[in-house]
Structure 1
Amino acid sequence: MSLPPGFIDELRTRLSLSQVVGRKVMWDSRKSNQGKGDMWAPCPFHQEKSASFHVDDRKGFYYCFGCQAKGDAISFVRETENVGFMEAIEILAGEAGMEVPKRDPQAQEKADERTELAAVMEQAVQFFRLQLLTGGAADARGYLERRGLDDAALQRFEVGFAPDAWQGLWDHLSGKGISGEQILAAGLGKPSSKGGKPYDTFRNRIMFPIRDARGRCTAFGGRAMDPNDNAKYLNSPETILFDKGRSLYNHGPAREAAGKGAPLIVAEGYMDVIALAQGGFGACVAPLGTAITENQLHLLWRISDEPLIALDGDTAGLRAAQRLIDLALPLLEAGKSLRFALMPEGKDPDDLIRSDGREAVQAVLDKAMPMVQLLWDKEIEGKNFDSPERKAALDKILREKIMLIRDPSIRSHYGQAIKDMRWQLFRAGNTGGGARKTPWKKGEWRKDVPAKAMAGTKASLLAGAGEDTQRQMREAVILASLICTPDVVSEFEGQLEEMQLSTGEHGALRDLILSHAHAGAETLREKIIAARGADNLEKLLSAGHVAITPCIRRPGDSEMAMMTVSEELAKLEAEQGLSAEVREAAEDLGGLADESVTWRLGQAAQARNLAMRSEHEDKAEYDTGPNGARINREERSAFDELLAKLNVTKEP
């Protein structure tokens, strides 16, 4: 069976040889370099213990230095699965998510046509290159010289010129015996809508040949010399040779340079690629003037695991970055990502390298940020997060973005990275519109001398902890409750971030809880032990006032933990509010006091008492009934009075 032209190339593009081979071998981690696609393992074709089987993931070939077995993904499946060629194709196509085309009796005819059209395109390349040397191309040569293209660059990228004539290329190719149908099929000419002679697609333009990964010219890009032309840049129409969404400018040379260790740079246009290549950045490509497509993204990842996206430093460049992020998020795999290098505002790579040199471009590339950082920066830039609603809106947007990621492991890591950045933003008190002011601070005005402690109380917690004992005890209960039941941490995240903790140890525990609660109780404990030590954790959980807390005795009880933490936070807030009022009242008493001072103190004390009421809710006195049940004495008295009014005689 003959397959359609390009099917096997597309199949190889979509598959990673190391993934295909990885099902049959155990990679040698010491010799392998996954980042460069350089993988080693014991050979699956003969018995050995040393890692002599080499896979070059970039080139798509394997070779064994022991038994000399060699081939590509298709031959590997054929040998290891003992199947024929078409069966191997079907296996690999299933893995790549491609459907094997049905039998096409005209496949060979189409392949022959592609070969003939590729030859026509080469004739066009030579014609355009010769035209650049003529008198009619003087302005074009002057433009290229002003843009910094020397003779070496013109030769390397085969830059040419399409004359300002309706049938210049058409007549040239026709004179070479090439039919009009082939010229039209190659996208080099267009039929006249007025019934006249077909005309050239490109006229009065600087021409850039576009070659596929195998080096065949499949299309052209033309830059208009007439400033009034409707299209500044024009690409060939799509043909059986050219699919714009599956092509990259400078694909073959960039792949070769990347295979030698050069970072892959993705620029926006032909001139950017040429300027970067002249500056020594050999592995650079461009997506032909359109937004990067899914197929182009897979092509990039076949060349490099982490391409550098070099974008213009303007609004359009940032919008392009955001579109690319939205495209890439669902496609992310372990080890496959993007980094973004933002050029200075108003400059593209071509501008920067011509004005400031190679070092300036390298400095920008060195500062390239990971995709998660650009995603975060885009959502917080110029925004103010001074209210819970605005923070919630930020969380919602980022959550929706992260949920686009299909790989659960990568999704988890993105969530943690976003959480860390969110923590840094709000932990520092930044709301986007200025620093958050701390509502209160502990006063220093009161200098009471404590009474002399009795011998029996000197060793007690209350005696040994100082003035902030109650506050420290409440903080300890909150922290211990969250450590035992980390599922509820998200409900109190905002309050925890803003807590002014009394000790550095409590502050460190709070930070660890916020950073690792999502991983579960066991992992959270491991992180705390690693950072603060097992003794400190045990000391916290075994303290008397902590150990008697119900949610500590029943770890994992979310409802009980929610109640405990909510109550303790409310009490802390009330006590802090009262302390702040007392401090301000003391300051006011130094001046002209009035009734408002007394009123404010009364209100603060009342709020504090309401918050503390839950401590005394179960302090009622009880009697024991005949059946042994406890009866609230106050409620029983009220019930007796009601019965007396109804003249009901009670049983003795």
Structure 2
Amino acid sequence: MSLPDGFLDELRTRLSIAQVVGRKVTWDTRKSNVGKGDYWSPCPFHQEKTASFHVDDRKGFFYCFGCHAKGDALTFVRETENVGFMEAVEILAGEAGMPVPKRDPVAQKKADQRTVLAEIMEQALQFYRMQLKTNVATAARDYLDGRGMPQVIQDRFEIGFAPDTRSALFQHLTGKGIKPEDLDEAGLCVKPDDGGSPFDRFRGRIIFPIRDARGRCIAFGGRAMDPNARAKYLNSPETPLFDKGRSLYNHGPAREAAGKAQSLIVAEGYMDVIALAQAGFDHAVAPLGTAITENQLQLMWRMSPEPIIALDGDTAGIRAARRLIDLALPLMEAGKSLRFVVLPEGQDPDDLLKASGAKAMQDLLDAAQPMVRLLWEREIEGKVFDSPERRASLDASLRTALSAIKDPSLRNHYTAAIKELRAELFAPKHGTSTQQNAPWSGGWRNKPPQNATSGLKSSLLGQKTATDTTRLREALILAAAIRNPHAAVEHETMLEKSPIAAPDLIKIQSALLALLHMDLSEDQGSGPLIAALTDRLGFNPMDHLMTLPPVRIHPHLHPDADPELVAMTLREELVKHAAIKGAEAELRDAEEEVEGLADEGLTWRIQQASEARANATKADIKSGGDGSEDRENLSLNLQKMIDDQIWVKKKG
């Protein structure tokens, strides 16, 4: 059976050979580099103990350095399953979700026709290349010189020129015996609806040949020399050779260069790719006049696990990047993602390279942002989150976006990263309390004038918790949460809402919440979490928290402490902190309502709030010895006070 031209290429593109081979072998994790698509294992074709069997997932081939077996995914299935070629095709097509074409007696004829069209495209390219050297292309050569494109680059990218006449190419190729209908099928000429003579599709344009991954010329792109042309850039139409949604400009050369550079740049157009190559960035491709498609994205991931999307620094470029997020999220998996570079406003890669050089471009590429950052900025840009409703709306939109990620592990990591960014956005600013930072807490109201109640205010409202005591309580909460991650997960909501004032402790709180759901077994303790926090923060959080002597000597916070006692300490400190902060908020609110002589109801509220705060601070946080039952009873009583909100004015 003759398969349609391109079917096997599409099959290989959709499948990862590492996944196909991985069903039969066990990868050597020490020798393999998954991020680079580099896999090693003992060979499945001969008995051995060493990992001499190599799979290059990017190129789609395997090779054994012991028995010298080699091939692609089809070869591997044929050899390991002991099946024929077509059976192997059917097996892999089923995995890729591709229907195998039915037996078609004219399939070979169609394949032969594609071969004919490819030969015609090569002859057309030769014609365009020759025309660039003639007098009719003087303006085109001047333009290329003005863009700083030397002859060596023009030759490398096979730049040509289509003369501004109606049928120069048509007459040239038909004069060589090529059928007019073949020129039409190749997309080189246009046949008028009125039955007139066919005319050239490209006229008065600089020509950029588009080759597929195998190096065949499958289409052309043309840039108009006339500034008044209806389209500045024009691509070949869809043909039996050319599917623009499955093609990339500079695909073949970039694939080879990406392996060496361990990177892939995705620019917007031909001139961007050429300018990058001229500056030494050979690993660049571009979509062909449309937004990036799912098929193009899969092609990019075959070349690099984390392509860098480099877009022009204008509104259209940023909008295109954000649209790409929605396309990529459902397709991502471990080891496959995107990074983004948005160039300075009003510049494309060519502009930047001419103005600032290759180093400036490399600096931007090195600073490329992960996709999660672009997703976050898309959701918060231009918005003000000054109410619970607006924050809830943000949470809802983020949940919707993240739900598109199919890989559970990857979705968890995205959720953790978003949680950290959210914590940073809503963290209290330096020198302000959580209530002051929240516009709905009452901090924006005008303060009442001084009046006869100033004595009451100074005696009751003036009883502020000392800063050092607050910091100590916050440090105890964080230390206990880090020592017992499982207890921290149980109290995650309270931990997240717990108002932390000190900037250095806010940083630890944000990192802890972001890493709280990392995989931990019961017997691992807090070691892996502390290591992950240290890596994220740049310092050991426990060492930082232990600088406070009461934390350092606390009997329930040392590494060998009973997890139950650590959990009890965390629960107690969280409840006390919530009670104190709740009472302080009520005191501030009551202070603002004092507008004359204190009435009986207001005085009662202040007394109740003060009592709640006093009860919350009765426990000696400097000790953690016996009396755990009393401490537990105190925590339960405090929690009841919080639940009942005894200090809040009841509406009659």
Q: TM-score range by the shorter chain?
A: 0.7 to 0.9
* Superposition map of 1:247-646 within 5 A: 247-429=247-429, 436=437, 486=488, 489=491, 491-492=493-494, 495-496=497-498, 498-500=499-501, 514-518=513-517, 526=526, 532=542, 539=556, 571-577=579-585, 595-596=597-598, 602-608=604-610
Task: State the structure with bigger RCO (CA 8 A, min sep 6), 1 or 2.
Answer: 2
The equivalent of 2:57 in structure 1 is 57
Structure 1: how far apart are the matches of 2:262 and 2:519?
A: 41
Does residue 101 (structure 1) correspond to residue 101 (structure 2)? The answer is yes
1:604 CA displacement: 1.9
1:508 CA displacement: 8.9
1:216-246 CA-partner distances (Å, limit 9, x unpaired): 0000001111111111111101010000000
Please tell me whether Structure 1 or Structure 2 has the larger radius of gyration of its CA atoms: 1
Residue 419 and residue 525 in structure 1: after superposition, are their counterparts in 2 closer, same or farther (change >3 A)?
farther
Residue 372 and residue 581 in structure 1: after superposition, are their counterparts in 2 closer, same or farther (change >3 A)?
closer
In the alignment, structure 1 segments of 5+ residues that lack a partner are 447-464, 556-560, 619-652
Contact 2:330 2:406 in 1 (8 A): yes
1:108-136 CA-partner distances (Å, limit 9, x unpaired): 10110011000000010011111111111
1:598 CA displacement: 9.2
Structure 1: how far apart are the matches of 2:71 and 2:102?
A: 26
Structure 2: how far apart are the matches of 1:374 and 1:115?
A: 44
1:387 CA displacement: 2.4
Structure 1: how far apart are the matches of 2:383 and 2:254?
A: 39
The equivalent of 1:628 in structure 2 is none
Question: Counterpart of 2:19 in 1: which secondary structure?
Answer: helix
CA RMSD of aligned residues (A): 4.2
Question: 1:514 corresponds to which letter in structure 2?
Answer: L
Structure 2: how far apart are the matches of 1:473 and 1:51?
A: 51
Question: 2:580 corresponds to which letter in structure 1?
Answer: L
Contact 2:58 2:302 in 1 (8 A): yes
Question: 1:605 corresponds to which letter in structure 2?
Answer: Q
1:361 CA displacement: 0.9
1:28 CA displacement: 2.6
Contact 2:580 2:612 in 1 (8 A): no
Structure 2: how far apart are the matches of 1:300 and 1:516?
A: 30
Query: Which of 533-542 and 296-305 deviates more?
Result: 533-542
Structure 2: how far apart are the matches of 1:580 and 1:474?
A: 24
Structure 2: how far apart are the matches of 1:95 and 1:283?
A: 30
1:145 CA displacement: 1.1
Residue 147 and residue 525 in structure 1: after superposition, are their counterparts in 2 closer, same or farther (change >3 A)?
same
Structure 2: how far apart are the matches of 1:129 and 1:82?
A: 49
Contact 2:211 2:218 in 1 (8 A): yes
TM-score (norm 1): 0.78
Question: 1:372 corresponds to which letter in structure 2?
Answer: V
Contact 1:250 1:286 in 2 (8 A): yes
The equivalent of 1:123 in structure 2 is 123
The equivalent of 2:199 in structure 1 is 199
1:518 CA displacement: 4.2
Question: 1:572 corresponds to which letter in structure 2?
Answer: I
1:526 CA displacement: 2.6
Question: 2:556 corresponds to which letter in structure 1?
Answer: K
Question: 2:302 corresponds to which letter in structure 1?
Answer: R
Structure 1: how far apart are the matches of 2:95 and 2:137?
A: 51
Contact 2:479 2:542 in 1 (8 A): no
* Superposition map of 1:37-186 within 5 A: 37-186=37-186
1:548 CA displacement: 11
Question: 1:436 corresponds to which letter in structure 2?
Answer: N
1:320 CA displacement: 0.5
The equivalent of 2:627 in structure 1 is none
Residue 535 and residue 211 in structure 1: after superposition, are their counterparts in 2 closer, same or farther (change >3 A)?
same
Contact 2:576 2:635 in 1 (8 A): no
Question: Counterpart of 2:556 in 1: which secondary structure?
Answer: helix
Structure 2: how far apart are the matches of 1:254 and 1:482?
A: 49
Query: Which of 486-495 and 185-194 deviates more?
Result: 486-495
Contact 1:192 1:198 in 2 (8 A): yes
1:524-549 CA-partner distances (Å, limit 9, x unpaired): 9636777649998861699xxx9999
Structure 1: how far apart are the matches of 2:369 and 2:635?
A: 56
Query: Which of 479-488 and 291-300 deviates more?
Result: 479-488
Contact 2:424 2:510 in 1 (8 A): no
Structure 2: how far apart are the matches of 1:582 and 1:210?
A: 73
1:599 CA displacement: 8.1
1:57 CA displacement: 2.2
Question: 1:104 corresponds to which letter in structure 2?
Answer: D
Residue 214 and residue 537 in structure 1: after superposition, are their counterparts in 2 closer, same or farther (change >3 A)?
farther
1:129-187 CA-partner distances (Å, limit 9, x unpaired): 11111111111111111111110111011111111111111000000100001100100
Structure 2: how far apart are the matches of 1:38 and 1:548?
A: 47
Residue 517 and residue 253 in structure 1: after superposition, are their counterparts in 2 closer, same or farther (change >3 A)?
closer
Structure 2: how far apart are the matches of 1:51 and 1:617?
A: 60
The equivalent of 1:634 in structure 2 is none
Residue 268 and residue 86 in structure 1: after superposition, are their counterparts in 2 closer, same or farther (change >3 A)?
same
Residue 540 and residue 509 in structure 1: after superposition, are their counterparts in 2 closer, same or farther (change >3 A)?
farther
Structure 1: how far apart are the matches of 2:173 and 2:467?
A: 96
TM-score (norm 2): 0.78
Residue 295 and residue 484 in structure 1: after superposition, are their counterparts in 2 closer, same or farther (change >3 A)?
closer
Residue 309 and residue 85 in structure 1: after superposition, are their counterparts in 2 closer, same or farther (change >3 A)?
same
Contact 2:14 2:298 in 1 (8 A): yes
